[in-house]
Amino acid sequence: MYYYRQMSIINKREPIVLFLGDIVIFYASLWLAYFLRFSEIPGGTLFKQHLLAFSLLFVFWITVFFILGLYNKNVFFFHGRLKEVLLKAHVVNSIISFIYFYTIPFFGINPKITLVFYIVISFMLILFWRVFISNFIFLKKREHAILVGEGEEMFELNKEVNGNDRYGLFFDKIFDLSVTSAEDLKNGITRAVEENGISTIVVDFRNIKSSPTLASLQDLVFNKVRFLDINNVYEDVFDRVPLSLINHNWFVENVSSYTESTYDILKRLMDVILGIILGAFTLLITPFVALAIKLDDGGKVFTKQERVGQNNHHFYVFKFRTLERIEEGVWHKESKNNPTRVGKILRVTSIDELPQILNILKGELSFIGPRSDLASLETRLRESLSHYSMRYIVRPGISGWAQVNQQYAPGHINPQTIDENKVRLAYDLYYVKNRSLMLDLVIALRTIQTLLSRTGK
């Protein structure tokens, strides 16, 4: 038994601190705006009315921040775009604020000047807090570390961590188990700990090549050296599992079949409730979508596709037709089958997905989960990618962890190659391992962000 800690190299308290800091700034900005508007210390009935009205407004502001990724655990990693994202969030929130106060007159106040003061003050304070103060708080000294493993993901991890000072580690040495003997590994680690002040060793515990060395180095824990599992560190950094580092033991431990839990019951309940609401909306717009498709090229309104679902169960879905021809067994990148004029709009807005609400109500799909595959492509993927069928242990969804994280080729919203599907599988298995209502909520909010970014192009 080796001594290692399930620790994160990312400060997971950062989003919480950012959230609390934003709340403080919102209320401080309101206090200052009220003071400037009325030239008096805030208090009394009028200020309480403002406090109630703005408190409800802050819920919308925070939601926009979530949607735009300002509470992601890696929010500081797009520091170069932070000002741009904050400005976008503030513009959206300002529009929401004016709509809020001048279309919902329930609060007995008409804060025109106060609202303008608040918008200006809050933007300046948020900008100062997010760009300067929080940057100073969270920037910390990096620990010296060693990386032990093999495979492409190990080198990917090294490049990412060493190239970004927001992580708590810097890898001084890398030992590739595919070319390093047990004796060289032991001597190299011992020497590095003594000479470089190594405090952390990130190692692949599941690799049998590392076992003999770890057994002889376990006394390093008395020198305050901590051991971290490379799989956990990789997941921490990339939000996906390292496919080349996992083995059958990993699947038995993390992806084995499970009995129905409270999470599954609540998720199914939310699927049904939201499915009924969106189902009514789908029935309402279907005649108009059908008319647009017919006027565009006169072709079929719907396409019928055979999909692979939970436990490899096959089922059929209907979607609004978006392509010139109905094809199966190929990716769009491999075909000259182009979207129609109406189809482009349906794809960008994801309206083409709405008929799948029926599958959600039937229990074949969920709103959130790994994206279901065309049956005609699934065999090809399963034969090309190890462990591919493991993604089907949970109910597939319309939107998933891969859809809101993976970057696809320009002009595409789905993986179009085996390599792209390999990356998607890594995200899907991360979801299978870590699924929860909170993760589903994060996916839902990021899906909104993804849809807005598509329609904004």
pLDDT in tens, 88-133: 999 999 999 999 888 876 667 778 899 999 999 999 999 999 888 8
Which is more confident, 210 or 265? 265
Per DSSP, the three-state class of 110 is coil
pLDDT band at 21 (very low <50, low <70, confident <90, very high): very high
pLDDT at site 283: 95
pLDDT in tens, 379-419: 888 889 988 988 999 999 999 999 888 887 666 667 888 88
Compute the average pLDDT of residues 40-49: 86
User: What residue ranges define each of the domains in the chain, with the CATH number in brackets?
Assistant: 14-138 (no CATH), 143-246 (3.40.50.10700), 262-455 (no CATH)
pLDDT at site 54: 92
pLDDT at site 334: 60
Q: Name the DSSP class of 408.
A: P
pLDDT at site 360: 96
CB 46, CB 89: distance < 8 Å: no
Residue owning tokens 């921040």 = 65
Sheet order of strands, 143-149 included? 169-176, 143-149, 200-203, 226-229
Q: Does pLDDT of 228 surpass 70?
A: yes
The percent of residues above 70 in pLDDT, for the chain, comes to 89
pLDDT at site 140: 67
- Give CA torsion, residues 188, 191, 194, 199, to 10 deg: -10
Ramachandran bin of 69, using left for φ above 0, alpha for ψ from -120 to 50, beta for the remaining angles = left
* Distance of alpha carbon 229 from alpha carbon 204, whole angstroms: 6
Q: Name the DSSP class of 316.
A: E
Q: Show the tokens assigned to 451.
A: 């849809």
Which runs of consecutive H residues, i.e. helices, occur in 240-297? 248-254, 262-297
Q: Name the DSSP class of 323.
A: B
pLDDT at site 259: 58
pLDDT at site 59: 94
Closest CA to 413 of 399, 433, 395, 429: 399
Which is more confident, 183 or 9? 183
Average model confidence (pLDDT) across the chain = 85
Q: Which range among 27-31, 82-86, 440-444 shows the weakest confidence by mean pLDDT?
A: 82-86
pTM score:
0.81
Q: Does pLDDT of 319 surpass 70?
A: yes
Query: Within 13 Å of residue 87, how many CA atoms lie on the same side as its CB?
Result: 4
Compute the average pLDDT of residues 419-426: 92
* Distance of alpha carbon 432 from alpha carbon 278, whole angstroms: 26
* Distance of alpha carbon 296 from alpha carbon 286, whole angstroms: 15
pLDDT band at 2 (very low <50, low <70, confident <90, very high): very low
Entry field: residues in the chain: 457
Q: Is the dihedral of CA 188, 189, 191, 195 positive or negative?
A: positive
pLDDT at site 4: 45
- Give CA torsion, residues 198, 229, 16, 128, to 10 deg: 40
Chain-centre distance of CA 192, in angstroms?
36
* Distance of alpha carbon 117 from alpha carbon 382, whole angstroms: 58
Q: Show the tokens assigned to 124.
A: 């300046």
pLDDT at site 3: 44
Winning range, highest mean pLDDT, from 137-141, 179-183, 246-250: 179-183
pLDDT band at 213 (very low <50, low <70, confident <90, very high): confident
